[in-house]
Amino acid sequence: MITNEDGLVIPTLDDMLEAHERIKPYIHRTPVMTSRFLNELAGCEMFFKCENFQKAGAFKVRGASNAVFGLSEEEAKNGVCTHSSGNHALSLSYAAGRRGIPCNVVMPYSAPEAKKAAVRGYGGIITECQPSTTSREEVFAKVQAETGGDFVHPYNDPRVIAGQATCSREFLEQMEEIGVKPDMVVAPIGGGGMISGTCLTLSNLAPDVKIYAAEPVNADDAARSFKAGHIIADDAPDTVADGLKVPLKDLTWHFVSNYVTDILTATEEEIIEAMKLTWTHMKIVIEPSCAVPLAVILKNKEVFAGKKVGVIITGGNVDLDKLPWN
Amino acid sequence: MITNEDGLVIPTLDDMLEAHERIKPYIHRTPVMTSRFLNELAGCEMFFKCENFQKAGAFKVRGASNAVFGLSEEEAKNGVCTHSSGNHALSLSYAAGRRGIPCNVVMPYSAPEAKKAAVRGYGGIITECQPSTTSREEVFAKVQAETGGDFVHPYNDPRVIAGQATCSREFLEQMEEIGVKPDMVVAPIGGGGMISGTCLTLSNLAPDVKIYAAEPVNADDAARSFKAGHIIADDAPDTVADGLKVPLKDLTWHFVSNYVTDILTATEEEIIEAMKLTWTHMKIVIEPSCAVPLAVILKNKEVFAGKKVGVIITGGNVDLDKLPWN
């Protein structure tokens, strides 16, 4: 870690490499998949890094495991706690369960039932809040004070970003194995944890690879922040992409503002269509949130035409009883 | 091929090996996946051979490609034709398209829209019939007379069975690569093409591996045939497992009656539950038909307890707008 002039603690390449060694026993090396049909539709060659097959069903297990297994015995004694719209909650519960320490999570009552059930399945304890950033932070302050657990922020934490960064390292290795050099990588952006990890790894190991973030129009605070040059936070945006409702924070803003080429947005209809296309043609279950990259690729074909494009499929935790097209 | 005393032309191990060489350019070597969650639930160790990731979305492309690419120029000149509830139709259309010959298919009007759209996408020409075996065979006789195409039966054809048999060969190779010896394999049974291919390969290459067939209670003609010792055919069974409505024929009966250990059945509710479990925990899109093996495993735990069980996931072509739990 290095501390910059603003006092921000920033993870480095070494932190990512250490994280990867630390978390390997607890994560999958997820596959990279392709689809001839979707390539023809998009006019570019896409390589999908399938974190929907990750432990706990999402990439977030990387950052959560790095935080949990990096704690000393003393630091771990009261367990961990967090707030999360879903996947970080269940990833932290999974990691804490593997280490045998308690995990308290604050989740909006509106989070998908599948995610809540998975948190409980891993032994996590849920306290519900309203689906707004304000309520989430208020309720969380109470839970943290009561439990004394180590706070693992879902994204604005250098340990978490170092963990998420291992995803792009695997991706680069896997592309090298098949002898393909990617031109760009597209990942969804909510709070910016995955994008920050992607920036950390690519800016060090493959600085020529451009990084695009994909965001719902209905929760486009990161895109507006990017244009304005400073963080703009919405309190309670409403989108089918339930994982992308949270705002950027100082640490993720550092990475986004320094390393991202552009933030592209897609409408709810475009996201749902991209989700159905992925389910239909790739035969994989993905969340609405990770359909946003395909949606923006299909919408901005000129940006990606003829390129080799990495696409991070961030998770696969969906309520089958509440699919967005039903 | 050998011809038995009843005049039945039966594919041999050599036919399977030849088929595998012939079709390799046109098929995927699909992955074998596992799920710790489902293993714990079932009390056995399952290895899912994921033919939902196969070209055209189903194992049937193996048999169809073997038939199409095994034709001489002369035999291929009027193209091919068939009747099918869906996956064979689109697989034959795919293979014919790759060879550049016409493909005519008779499909029940009630077949999933996703399957009909895929047939058309591959250039196949559809003639619709009623959803009964009688209607299907009547309409098909006309189409065949008009087009003069080579008839590739969806399962009662030695070329098709030799093609489907390549799936189990890959499975055995993949299990050897991970150093696991399977105790049994479970595959769904409709007309019996996949099961017959499985019998062909395993009886030759791994005769210790038991073969179980899985069938919907609502279309249990194979289970009743198995008990009775002769083929019993239903005309128009109704089940959510749309790929499993057709009856056994003489060639598939040969394999089923000689090599299958047992045929187990599951109710509609059990099939839908197994389908949802697979989608939720494995993050893969599978058809109702290929949820039947998991359904019978969960229902007959004593048969599979502690065993290493191969499970053939036969296809992933589903109408997302008509999911059976909505």
CB A133 within 8 A of CB A112: no
Question: Residue B325's closest CA among B282, B267, B269, B287?
Answer: B269
pLDDT band for position A246 (50/70/90)? confident
Structure confidence at residue B278 (pLDDT): 97
Q: Are strands B125-129 and B150-151 parallel, antiparallel or unpaired?
A: unpaired
CB contact under 8 A, B284 and A286: no
Ranges assigned E (strand) in chain A: 2-3, 9-10, 32-33, 45-50, 80-83, 103-108, 125-129, 150-151, 184-188, 210-216, 262-266, 308-313
Residue A153 is encoded by which pair of tokens?
A: 């922020």
Structure confidence at residue B113 (pLDDT): 84
B182 touches chain A (CB under 8 A): no
Distance from CA of A150 to the nearest CA of B (A): 28
Structure confidence at residue B293 (pLDDT): 98
Question: Percent of chain A, pLDDT > 70?
Answer: 100
pLDDT band for position A20 (50/70/90)? very high
Structure confidence at residue B242 (pLDDT): 85
* Paired strand residues for B284: A284
Residue A319's φ and ψ, nearest 5 degrees, are -80, 110
B61-151: same fold as B2-58+157-322? yes
Class of domain A2-58+157-322: alpha beta
Higher pLDDT, A233 or B265: B265
Query: From CA B111, how far away is CA B114, in angstroms rounded?
Result: 8
CB contact under 8 A, A285 and B286: no
Of the segments A131-140, A149-158, B243-252, which one has the largest average pLDDT value? A149-158
Cα-trace Rg, chain B: 18
Query: From CA A53, how far away is CA B96, in angstroms rounded?
Result: 34
Q: Does the pLDDT at position B326 exceed 80? A: no
Q: Closest to A57 (Cβ–Cβ): which among B53, B283, B285?
A: B283
Mean pLDDT of A108-112: 88
Structure confidence at residue B86 (pLDDT): 82
- For testing contact with chain A, the best of B27, B59, B115, B283 (most A CBs within 10 A): B283
- The torsion defined by the Cα of A250, A255, A259 and A263, in degrees rounded to 10, comes to -60
Mean pLDDT of B187-192: 96
Structure confidence at residue A242 (pLDDT): 85
**Distance separating the N- and C-terminal Cα atoms of chain B:** 46
Q: Return the DSSP state at A56.
A: G
Residues 6+ apart with CB under 8 A from B57: A283, B87, B90, B118, B315, B316, B317
Chain A residues with CB-CB distance to B283 below 8 A:
52-53, 57, 284-286, 316
Query: From CA B190, how far away is CA B56, in angstroms rounded?
Result: 19
Please identify which residue in the block is written with the tokens 């390969």. Answer: B201
Architecture of domain B61-151: 3-Layer(aba) Sandwich (3.40)
Mean of pLDDT over chain A:
95
B41 touches chain A (CB under 8 A): no
- B197-217, pLDDT tens digit by residue? 999 999 999 999 999 999 999
Structure confidence at residue B319 (pLDDT): 87
Residues 6+ apart with CB under 8 A from B208: none
Query: From CA A1, how far away is CA B52, in angstroms rounded?
Result: 44
pLDDT band for position B14 (50/70/90)? very high
Q: Does the pLDDT at position A84 exceed 90? A: no
Structure confidence at residue B207 (pLDDT): 98
Please identify which residue in the block is written with the tokens 């210790």. Answer: B208
Query: From CA A242, how far away is CA A245, in angstroms rounded?
Result: 6
* Count of residues making up chain A: 326
Mean pLDDT of A133-151: 94
- B70-94, pLDDT tens digit by residue? 999 999 999 999 998 788 999 999 9
* Paired strand residues for B80: B103, B150
- B105-140, pLDDT tens digit by residue? 999 998 888 889 889 999 999 999 998 888 988 999
Higher pLDDT, B131 or A39: A39
Amino acid identity, position A176: E
Instruction: Nearest chain A residue to B122 by CA: give it.
Output: A37
- Give me the residue spans of the domains in chain A: 2-58+157-322, 61-151
Positive or negative torsion for Cα A300, A303, A306, A309: negative
Q: Are strands A32-33 and A45-50 parallel, antiparallel or unpaired?
A: antiparallel
B31 touches chain A (CB under 8 A): yes
B316 touches chain A (CB under 8 A): yes
Question: Residue A164's closest CA among A30, A33, A64, A255?
Answer: A64
Q: Closest to B283 (Cβ–Cβ): which among A285, A325, A326?
A: A285
CB contact under 8 A, A276 and B320: yes
Q: Does the pLDDT at position A235 exceed 80? A: no
Residue A131 is encoded by which pair of tokens?
A: 């689906």
Q: Does the pLDDT at position B9 exceed 90? A: yes
pLDDT band for position B315 (50/70/90)? very high
- The torsion defined by the Cα of B109, B115, B117 and B120, in degrees rounded to 10, comes to -90
Structure confidence at residue B4 (pLDDT): 93
